Amino acid sequence: MKPLLPSLAVLVRAFVLSAILGASLPLAASDAKTLDSLLGSVLAEHVKDGYVDYPAIARNARFAKYIDSLTTFDLGSLTDDKERLAFWINVYNALVIQNVIDGMSPNGPMDRMRFFGRNLEVGGKGYDLKTIEEDILAEFEDPRVYFAIVPATSSAPKLRASAYVGEQVDQQLDEAARDFVNDKRRNRYSDALQAAKLSKVFEQHRKEFGKKDKDLLRYIAQFVNDEQVAKKLKRGTYDIKFMDYDATINGNSIQSH
């Protein structure tokens, strides 16, 4: 009869390994910083220049832990408006990712209704993308939010490869605005034509950026890197046209795997 010691050793090693792997993930993310860390590590690993590897995120235990932790998260623990703003931007982007992982699409009227109307449980209550954007984030009255929330489409702003964090959210939103405004695939400025061809994002949220064309151009000017273009935009003399919207997914979808 063979001794039991080798099999016992195998069991011990397996137990130790599972304990080590388990220790790498918190049992529950009970504070905003832990949630930021979970989501941030996922985005850093699976988002490259705005291109999202959705199948890889679907396999990432840290993303699942982030989503699970939201269900019991105490919203009252958010300490100030900056932390709340960062928190809800992250939740919006995470719900978008979860929707794509689950085979949903923002392309097409019926698909969009399902995509933007699907609930994610946060603190024991369901929130959908429409509610987060129009009822929660809109209360901050900060148009830079629209450069940070990313509905998984190619025409949307690029998804950052990091989570938004309360104490850094102003800087992060400025960076997101500057990145979007200067992205030639999304916004173009022609001095020769005295025209600005802008993203549909500006048209969709027109009232947040100013009622008149001059207001919109002046808002954009503060983030434009080219000083000469910025000066001319501030004058508000450019004609405005809006680009067509590309609703294809901003990464490799689950269906392709």
Lowest mean pLDDT of 24-28, 138-142, 235-239, name the range. 24-28
pLDDT at 192: 87
Torsion, Cα of 169, 171, 173, 176 (10° steps) = -130
Lowest mean pLDDT of 19-23, 132-136, 172-176, name the range. 19-23
pLDDT at 255: 60
Question: Could you report the per-residue pLDDT of 3-55, keeping only the tens digit for each?
Answer: 433 444 433 344 444 444 444 454 456 799 999 999 999 999 999 999 999 99
Mean pLDDT computed over every residue of the chain: 89
pLDDT at 163: 98
Mean per-residue pLDDT, 156-171: 97
Q: How much of the chain, in percent, has pLDDT values that exceed 90?
A: 82
Q: Would you say 137 and 144 are in contact if contact means Cβ atoms under 8 Å apart? A: no
What pTM was computed for the model? Answer: 0.87
Mean per-residue pLDDT, 83-96: 98
pLDDT at 8: 45
pLDDT at 253: 75
Q: Would you say 172 and 165 are in contact if contact means Cβ atoms under 8 Å apart? A: yes
pLDDT at 13: 45
Mean per-residue pLDDT, 141-169: 97
Mean per-residue pLDDT, 135-150: 97
Top-confidence residue, 192 or 178: 178
Q: How much of the chain, in percent, has pLDDT values that exceed 70?
A: 87
Distance CA(182)–CA(98), nearest Å, equals 29
pLDDT at 2: 39
